[in-house]
Structures are given as structure tokens and as C-alpha cells.
Amino acid sequence: MIVVMKPASTAQQISDVIARVKSDGYDAHLSQGEQHTIIGVVGESPTPLREENYGTMEGVEKVMRISAPYKLASRHFHPHDTLVPLNGSHMGSKKVLIIAGPCSVESREQIIDIACQMKEAGATALRGGAFKPRTSPYSFQGHGEKALQWLAEARERTGLPIVTEVMDTAQVPMVCQYADVLQIGARNMQNFSLLNVVGESQHTILLKRGMSSTVEDLLMSAEYVLSHGNNRVMLCERGIRTFEKATRNTFDVNAIPVLKNLTHLPVIADPSHAVGLWEYVEAIARSAVAAGADGLIVEVHPEPDKAISDGRQSLKPERFKAMVQQVQRIAEAVGRTA
């Protein structure tokens, strides 16, 4: 349920409603817009919620039931787009932002070199895996904290904020020391213990859709993070599992406008994992921006044939630069910038 306050409601009237929510045994989440203040009522309590109990309170304009299981992620709770700060810009604004870098941080020299090239090509942030979830336990698992230190040095050189994946709760404090954005990978989208911990961290979160998850599943996972008062969440469409074998995954371009309609959170696309083949990445990136994506996260490697992981889906720096230029033209065509 949400309680919509009148435009002229006072701070005391808002406090009275919040106090009533808490006395009924629920949590109150405040969303203040230019015209209205909205109070989200979430949680479980033996006291049933009665709309009439809140609708008659001073300063209340209306009370609405939200049928969707996600409340804080819903546009009903937060009608205006949430803007997530990133390197002097905002994900979710008119400008389409691009996060780029290698799948894995392979060495200090590699990540600093690629960071400089990404900066020159127009990237907003640098991605790179320090801990790698792999299908095989014998595959390269990442350099861990050493890779995080190299990423931090690359940030010092270029000014690009760091986006890197965190895989379990024990890693969160250490990764928070180095990274600007914590990525929750597809395999961990419904790792609810991890979602709770990263929500409590108050770090910016990039939440990837699980490979067999619905849009509602993704929004419910985001709800875990939002429930801790952390609204710096970016959602990522990265392709889903279908019967099609021509590409690594099937890019669900439908999900982008659907999510933009259902939630106030920024929506970005990962064309690299969506198809798994570098020759299709540029086309999928263009389609994502045309569909309304707020940003992209793209894998780039100077020598993909020598990459330790995911070389087949990685663009070379010159192809990435060309992709950025293409995306800029698409963005302008749909009334945005890049």
C-alpha cells in the first residue's frame, strides 16, 4: 500500500502518517517528489492494513493498494525516474552511459592499458572481474584482491569509476573498499543473503537479470536491496536462456521498455553476454538504446583470442570505439545523447 500526501501537506502530517505505519507494525519508506510525498507501507504485521484508517488522516490525498509484489521498485511508489550518480553523470538521465572493460582483470598492465583506451573512447566507467564465477571449477577464478588493487590504480590513472562483481557476503566489505559499483551477476540474482548485505552497504548496485528469470523476479530481487534504504540500483538485461542455440543467450529487448514502464530504476543492457559473439554485439547495443536503455555494459579486450575468459564475446578497442559512435547516433535519433 502507498499513501499519497497532498502537495501542501506539512512535515508534521507526514511524520504522523509514518508514526501510524510503524505503530501498525509495518515499515515506512519515504519518496519525496516535486509535487507529492509518497509513503510506501511494506512488510508483514498481524495488524491488517485498512485504507480508511490512513485516508482520513490530515494531509493525506489518497491511499492506493499496489497489486504487484514489488513495492519500492514500482513506479506507483516512485513515479519519477531514479537517477544514479556515475562519474559526474547520472544513469537514468537523458545521456546514455557506457561501462566497458575486460571480462577478467588479467594483469596490472592489461587493466591500466584498457582503462586508458576506454576513457579515450568515451566510456563512463570501467568494468573488470576480480572474482569470476565459472561453470568449471578448473577455469580461471580471478586474481581476487590483487585485481581490485589494479582496478583502483586504473581509476587513479583515468578517473573512471570501477564496476566489479561480488560473489558472496564475505567478499562485500573488501570489494566495497575498492569498487564504486557492486555488480550482482546473473547466477546470484536470487542470492537473497547477498542482496541483503549489499543493500546494507549503501554502495551503488548493478543487478543483472538471471538467465532463467522473469522481469518480476528481477524486480523482486531489486526490492531486497531497496528495502535497506539503498535506492542506487541499476537493473541489467543480459539475455535469457531459450531453446535457441545460434547465440549464447537470447537478448530480451522487450524487457527494456517493460521495465521502464514498471519501475523507476535505471535499465541498462549487456550486449556481450546477451549473444556471446562479438560480431553481433554492436547490433544488439544499437537495439538496446533504440528500445530505451539508459546505458550499456560491454566487454572489451585488446587481444580477444588470448583472453583468459569470454574472449569470443569481447570487442577489440577499435570496434568498441566504432560502437560508441554508432550508439551516439541512435541516442540522438531517439531524443537522447551518449
Residue 142 in this model has a pLDDT that exceeds 90: no
Mean residue pLDDT of the chain comes to 95
Residue 280 in this model has a pLDDT that exceeds 80: yes
Task: Decide which of 68 and 234 is more confident.
Answer: 234
Confidence of residue 36 (pLDDT cuts 50, 70, 90): confident
**SS (HEC) of 181-234:** EEEECHHHCCCHHHHHHHHHHCCEEEEECCCCCCHHHHHHHHHHHHCCCCCCEE
Q: How far apart are CA 49 and CA 26, in angstroms?
A: 9
Residue 44 in this model has a pLDDT that exceeds 90: no
Q: How far apart are CA 191 and CA 176, in angstroms?
A: 18
Confidence of residue 136 (pLDDT cuts 50, 70, 90): confident
Average pLDDT of the segment spanning 243-269: 97
Q: How far apart are CA 288 and CA 268, in angstroms?
A: 8
Report the topology of domain 84-333: TIM Barrel (3.20.20)
CATH of domain 2-64: 3.30.70.1140
Check if the beta carbon of residue 126 is closer than 8 Å to that of residue 101.
yes
Residue 134 in this model has a pLDDT that exceeds 90: no
pLDDT at 338: 86
Q: How far apart are CA 251 and CA 139, in angstroms?
A: 26
* Percent of the chain topping pLDDT 90: 87
Residue 141 in this model has a pLDDT that exceeds 80: no
Average pLDDT of the segment spanning 141-167: 95
Average pLDDT of the segment spanning 239-252: 96
Average pLDDT of the segment spanning 16-26: 94
Q: How far apart are CA 232 and CA 52, in angstroms?
A: 33
Residue of 322, 326, 302, 304 whose CA lies nearest to 313: 304
Segment 283-334, tens digit of pLDDT: 999 999 999 999 999 999 999 999 998 999 999 999 999 999 999 999 999 9
pLDDT at 93: 97
Residue of 103, 87, 94, 70 whose CA lies nearest to 2: 70
- Location of each CATH 3.20.20.70 domain in the chain: 84-333
Residue 61 in this model has a pLDDT that exceeds 80: yes
pTM over cut 0.75: yes
Segment 205-245, tens digit of pLDDT: 999 999 999 999 999 999 999 999 999 999 999 999 999 99
For the ranges 50-59, 106-115, 152-161, the lowest mean pLDDT is seen at 50-59
pLDDT at 33: 78
Confidence of residue 59 (pLDDT cuts 50, 70, 90): very high
Check if the beta carbon of residue 72 is closer than 8 Å to that of residue 265.
no
pLDDT at 138: 67
Q: How far apart are CA 158 and CA 136, in angstroms?
A: 34
- Location of each CATH 3.30.70.1140 domain in the chain: 2-64
pLDDT at 38: 93
Average pLDDT of the segment spanning 181-194: 97
Confidence of residue 137 (pLDDT cuts 50, 70, 90): confident
Residue of 172, 170, 192 whose CA lies nearest to 182: 172
